[in-house]
Structure 1
Amino acid sequence: MLLRSPPRRLHLLRPHHLRVLSNAAAALATPPPAPTEWTEAPVSAVRAATPDASLFHVSLDLSSHPSLLASHLAAGQFLPFRLPSAPYPIFLAISSPPPASSALPKSFDFLVKRLPGTPSARLCDLCPGDLVGVGGSVVGRGFEVGRISDAREVLVFATGSGISPIRSLIESGFGENENIDVSLFYGARNLQRMAYQERFDDWESRGIKIVPVLSRPDDQWTGQRGYVQNAFSRTKKVVNPSSMGAILCGHKQMSEEITRALVADGMSIDKILTNF
């Protein structure tokens, strides 16, 4: 399901005192621990991930770092970066799936929001072959999907670059069990800022129902409008909270409002997963 606009032409963590913002712009309670070991890895690919170039695909060649590759155990984990002239490390959610077998991948993929003047923008401006400092292992627990292993329906909510670890989750096989009904509410400003549209057909073939939600669409858009939490309230109510789970990654307000709504409908807070 590749979404197309009408004829008109066409998530980052950083410790800062006690406040940390994720790659998906969600607020965290505490920063992840800074790595004690660092290494260097070459950038293997950098390209725009959206038509307006607000998001970038960045890949790192980690073929010389098998232990680092092997430390990626769960979708939703982060890799620390240390970029030249940056006063602090940044932590980016890995968008590629963790290895499913003993055969390790050769790289990690990331979806990076290009905010001018930030370390993430510097990362997007690098070229293949440029070296970057990275932690010796990934950090974070990722999405603890074992907590919703008995769910028969799972609601997934993502906004902006928060779709990055959700890609990792989907492409690691989550939702392919025919006994689970998975719906993804994915919000962006417009189609020009919506990443991974080229993957939607594959995701739907894996059993994921995708509900794109645009907050500022053009007049040709016929899908859901507004914010993800509004679209959810219009289209879905929790019928049997004991057999449901939820996964959230994105803006703080979205996460807070969705969580309140699900808890009010009877869902246990333990069944609502984030990757921090």
Structure 2
Amino acid sequence: MSKARTVLPTYVDAPSVYIGGEWTPSTIVKNVRNSTGVHRIDIEVEKHIASQYKRPGQYIKVQGVERPVLLAIASPPDERNVLSFLVKDTPYHKYLLDLPAESSIDLSIPMGRGFQIQEALNTHNDDQQIKHIVLMACGSGLAPIAAVIESGCLQLSPTNSQEVMDIKKSPDRTITLYIGARTRAHLPFAERYAEWEKKGVKVVPVLSRTEGRYVQEALQAELLEAPENTLALLCGMKGMTDAATELLLAAGVPKSRILLNF
């Protein structure tokens, strides 16, 4: 793995130790624009980092200019040594977005509990098995949701993931992804939607600029059947997740089945 470092003039090295462990030099292998306002960055990591990624929804810290940047992992936890990320194009992320392939950056190990899917399932009886799965994300917040879809934890297709959560297959289960963005050009991972649809995920783009609505409003317009049998995974801006949580609770979805990755 190359350790050559490309440093922007504004980059300031942070301390060599972060709270919880040491930084590990890692190598960017791809940094490309995935959609308007969002980059896809693939980073080659050491084995001990890959092995600590066990559950979709976990994140890593990237050594930043003033403080570490937190990025949710977009690829599934299968011990691959290249992790993918969706990074929003903001001044805060500029130094990272400007780094070309072969640049070296420092990462933490994967952190956080991720989506506690198994735990949510184990809190209910068999007559309350999951029949409906609602996935909600905005912009680069799609990253951990993509990891869920592609990890196999929803048992959409065979997988070699480290941890396959026990969601029993059901012929009448529905899975709907509400993905919010300004316009279609802003939709991240749009090239994957057709494949996700083939796996059984209904993808519903919600476009705030061209349609004038947001994902929580799209959810409100849908009539949830059997809310007690619904599992919801949310990732995005706090305003969206708070509003969606309120709507789901009001509809009758158990609080323990409304999951956030952070």
Fold in common (TM above 0.5): yes
Query: Does structure 1 residue 265 correspond to structure 2 residue 251?
Result: yes
Query: TM-score under structure 1 normalisation?
Result: 0.78
Structure 2: gaps spanning 5 or more residues: 1-17, 122-128, 157-168
Q: What does 1:87-126 correspond to in 2, within 5 Å?
A: 87-99=66-78, 104-116=79-91, 118=92, 120-126=93-99
C-alpha displacement of 1:168: 0.5
Cross-structure match for 1:16 = none
* 8 A Cα contact 1:40 1:134, kept in partner: yes
Give, as a single letter, the amino acid of the residue that structure 2 aligns with 1:265: A
Give, as a single letter, the amino acid of the residue that structure 2 aligns with 1:256: D
Cross-structure match for 1:215 = 208
Give, as a single letter, the amino acid of the residue that structure 2 aligns with 1:74: R
Structure 1: gaps spanning 5 or more residues: 1-32, 218-223
Cross-structure match for 1:255 = 241
* 8 A Cα contact 1:154 1:244, kept in partner: yes
Separation of aligned partners in 1, 2:83 and 2:113: 17
**Partner-residue secondary structure (3-state), 1:168:** helix
Give, as a single letter, the amino acid of the residue that structure 2 aligns with 1:128: A
Instruction: Call closer, same or farther: CA 1:237–1:148 in 2, change over 3 Å.
Output: farther
Between Structure 1 and Structure 2, how many residues are aligned?
224
38, 59, 78: which is aligned to 2:42?
Answer: 59
Q: What does 1:150-229 correspond to in 2, within 5 Å?
A: 150-175=129-154, 176=156, 177-179=169-171, 180-217=173-210, 225-229=212-216
Give, as a single letter, the amino acid of the residue that structure 1 aligns with 2:86: L
Query: Does structure 1 residue 127 correspond to structure 2 residue 100?
Result: yes
Query: TM-score under structure 2 normalisation?
Result: 0.82
Separation of aligned partners in 2, 1:188 and 1:45: 23
Separation of aligned partners in 1, 2:212 and 2:119: 31
C-alpha displacement of 1:148: 4.1
* 8 A Cα contact 2:131 2:170, kept in partner: no
Separation of aligned partners in 2, 1:190 and 1:70: 37
Identity %, equivalent residues: 31
Query: Does structure 1 residue 237 correspond to structure 2 residue 223?
Result: yes
**Partner-residue secondary structure (3-state), 2:100:** coil
Cross-structure match for 2:62 = 81
Give, as a single letter, the amino acid of the residue that structure 2 aligns with 1:232: L
* 8 A Cα contact 2:71 2:85, kept in partner: yes
C-alpha displacement of 1:225: 4.8
Give, as a single letter, the amino acid of the residue that structure 2 aligns with 1:110: F
Write the deviation string for residues 184-235 of structure 1: whole angstroms up to 9, x where unpaired: 1111000121111100011111110111110112xxxxxx65111111112x
* 8 A Cα contact 1:152 1:243, kept in partner: yes
Give, as a single letter, the amino acid of the residue that structure 1 aligns with 2:106: G
Write the deviation string for residues 24-69 of structure 1: whole angstroms up to 9, x where unpaired: xxxxxxxxx833211101111100011x3x110101112xx11110
Structure 1 runs, 4 residues or longer, greater than 4 Å off? none
Write the deviation string for residues 132-163 of structure 1: whole angstroms up to 9, x where unpaired: 0111x210010011134331111111111110
Give, as a single letter, the amino acid of the residue that structure 1 aligns with 2:20: P
Separation of aligned partners in 1, 2:230 and 2:184: 30
Cross-structure match for 1:138 = 110
**Partner-residue secondary structure (3-state), 2:249:** helix
Higher mean alpha-carbon deviation, 141-150 vs 180-189, is at: 141-150
